[in-house]
Structure 1
Amino acid sequence: MAREDLEKRLGKTDAECLCANTRRAARAVTRYFDHVLDPSGLRATQFTLLLGIRLNQPVGITRLAEYMVMDRTTMTRNLRPLEKAGLISVGRAGDRRLRAIRLTSGGEESLEAALPAWSTAQAALAKAVGHYRKDIVVGNLKAVADAASRILEADRQPSG
């Protein structure tokens, strides 16, 4: 393949790549939310994790990982600092083999205290992209995440 053809193909690949563009958008949005949430002491990733726990508690690690679209190892690693900070408790559920995750009162307070900053960031970003576009973007992001999860699951199924 000629050098110019390769450069053109790579440029087109980068411009159209769902993965690269989604990751760039996620990093930019996360960086902005981290900036606005900084006074609350929470990072955007911690805020969304506390929110996910709060909406599903008590919740097991596997279910929470599925909800957050993470693997269990990453989920466990992300929960550790929240547990050390006293924002979550990881106890045993009725089935002694399962661990149930809940927000502590400190976690509830931190999440509630961060909500005004989150609202500020959400409103500013919605205004910047256009309020009419925000709902479309969120819907499209959910559709892409659902499609990627379905395709991955189908690819993991044994053929035959």
Structure 2
Amino acid sequence: MPNPLYDQDLQLWIEQTIQQLQNHEFEALDIEHLIEELVDLGKAEKNALKSNLTILLAHLLKLRVQYDVPDSMKGSWYSSILEHRQRVINNLTDTPSLKSFLVEAVEKAYPDARKLAIKEGKLAKFGIRIPHESEYPTVCPFSIEQILDEDFYGL
């Protein structure tokens, strides 16, 4: 049966659902939407991991392929790698069951990371060499250990 509160004010619906659970008012629960929200929550955790891996892998790739750019350009890539690697590590620490999804997440994130690295590489200016697409490996060249290693930069 439709729940108007769920459709009108999700936050209020969540608060009401928490209250019902705390009060053991199980018969009053909007089970259909509760299941939907829990499924979405699981997807959100996986999507966050994949998103952070995409940026991390793109910048590891750029450091590897565009090794000849000035250090001033590399600085932002190093910062991005540090930030997104920490986010990945935090994802895995906060939700340890995501570790079983990590290999799949890398496989799903890498094509997007490669595409991003290629697009960003084409934006190079001021006489900086624009790498050919073939310079970017089609299969992730980094192991899980390297991706998570806080001292690894793909070089």
Q: Same fold (TM over 0.5)?
A: no
Question: Under a length normalisation based on structure 2, what TM-score does the superposition of the two structures give?
Answer: 0.31
The structure number with the bigger radius of gyration is: 2
Question: Under a length normalisation based on structure 1, what TM-score does the superposition of the two structures give?
Answer: 0.30
